[in-house]
Amino acid sequence: MKAIDDLFNEIHLKRALRAWNLMAARKSSPRKIRLLKKTKQASPLPAWIILKTKRTVRTNPKRRAWRSTDVEVG
C-alpha cells in the first residue's frame, strides 16, 4: 500500500508542477498554492476507491466546475 501512496503523491506532484508552470507569472506564490489546492480538490475520484467501495461511492461530492463556480482565493 505504501508503494501506491508514493506513486499517487508523485503523480499529484507532477501535475501540480505542470499547473504551476502554466499559471501567470504575476500571481503570488501563496495564491498559486491556494489555486493548486482547489485544483486538486476538484479532481475526480481515483478508480481504486470506486472499486474498494464496490461502487457505493462513484463521484466526488465536493467536485467543483471550474467555469460555473468562483474559487475566491484572493
How many CB atoms are closer than 10 A to CB 46?
13
Cβ distance 60 to 74 under 8 Å? no
Cβ distance 33 to 16 under 8 Å? no
Stated pTM of the model = 0.64
Domain total of the chain: 1
Question: Per residue in 19-32, pLDDT tens?
Answer: 767 777 898 999 99
> Closest Cα to residue 43, out of 67, 19, 59, 22?
59
Q: What confidence category does residue 16 fall into, taking pLDDT thresholds of 50, 70 and 90?
A: low
Mark out the alpha helices in the chain (DSSP H runs). Answer: 2-22, 29-41, 47-52
Domain around 47 = 1-74
> Domain of 4: which CATH number?
1.10.1620.10
Residue 20: its pLDDT value, please? Answer: 67
